[in-house]
Amino acid sequence: MNNDDTINNNSFINIKNLIKSYDDGKIKALNGIDLEINKGDFISIIGPSGSGKSTLLNMLGALDIPSSGTIKIDGVEITKSKDLSQFRSKKIGFVFQLHNLIPNLTVFENVQIPLIGTGVSEDEIEKRAKNLLESVGLGDKLEQMPTKLSGGQRQRVAIARALVNNPSIILADEPTGSLDSKTGDIILNVLEKIHEENNVTLIIVTHEQYVANMADRTIKIRDGKIMEDCSNN
Ligand SMILES: Nc1ncnc2c1ncn2[C@@H]1O[C@H](COP(=O)(O)OP(=O)(O)OP(=O)(O)O)[C@@H](O)[C@H]1O
Ligand SMILES: [Mg+2]
């Protein structure tokens, strides 16, 4: 999926010597990650439990800050950014492993959350949320409460919510981890379609090799280090 006109020395995401330690350095969740990702790429990250996959994704999504090293996205060093939440709300769509929907809000309200307080008008927020829910096949569930939905439907709401800010990067942490394989495939197809149609950079963390193989490129992590980085063509 690499674009021929992409200039490689000007990569969209650039990570240098990224380290994240916990417990006064006793645990090194990330231990020197170097990585370049081009705009519009579809990347999978695979590795054993505890290898640092979620930690890496959280750093990329500006949900947490590294101990040392740098992350540049679109030329901006997010590790130095003073306003990570603003960066996040402009660029990033995050699909959490356990979808994290708010149970006492409707499906429609859940999808609007990332845009509340960002200056986007109420009409525009509602329009985007409705369109996205229709595009993931949930146009008839707007007023439903999340607890009344199936696992796959909830995950589709979570995807619509991750997309409502028109992100240039989607980070998905085991988006199919809690689903049966048929429902998981539906979710993967939704993510792949968005990636292809909008040139969105898609990064998926997964335990499963067949999910990893759907990406253009697979990065294998072990003990906080990249062990393998291969193209899937
Ligand atoms: N807040 C924390 N405090 C201390 N240690 C942590 C913290 N968060 C993560 N770790 C440790 O960092 C390492 C990497 O964790 P991480 O969640 O990134 O793994 P993972 O690859 O996502 O695993 P899984 O596949 O089980 O989700 C683990 O050893 C974990 O115990
Ligand atoms: Mg994890």
Would you list the domain boundaries of the chain? 39-65+81-231
Give per-residue pLDDT as tens, 38-92.
999 999 999 999 999 999 999 999 888 899 999 999 888 887 777 777 788 888 9
- The best mutation among 18, 19, 22, 211 to test binding of ligand 1, ranked by most ligand atoms within 8 Å of the C-beta, falls on 22
* Signed CA dihedral, 78, 79, 80, 84: sign only: positive
Ligand lying nearest the CA atom of residue 48 = 1
Q: What is the pLDDT of residue 1?
A: 45
Q: What is the pLDDT of residue 59?
A: 93
What parts of the chain have a pLDDT lower than 70? 1-10, 99
Q: What is the pLDDT of residue 5?
A: 41
Residues having CB within 6 Å of any atom of ligand 1: 22-23, 27, 29, 47, 49-55
Pick one of 3.40.50.880, 3.40.50.11540, 3.40.50.150, 3.40.50.300 as the CATH number of 39-65+81-231.
3.40.50.300
Q: What is the pLDDT of residue 6?
A: 40
Q: What is the pLDDT of residue 208?
A: 87
Provide φ and ψ at 130, rounded to 5°. -65, -45
Q: What is the pLDDT of residue 135?
A: 84
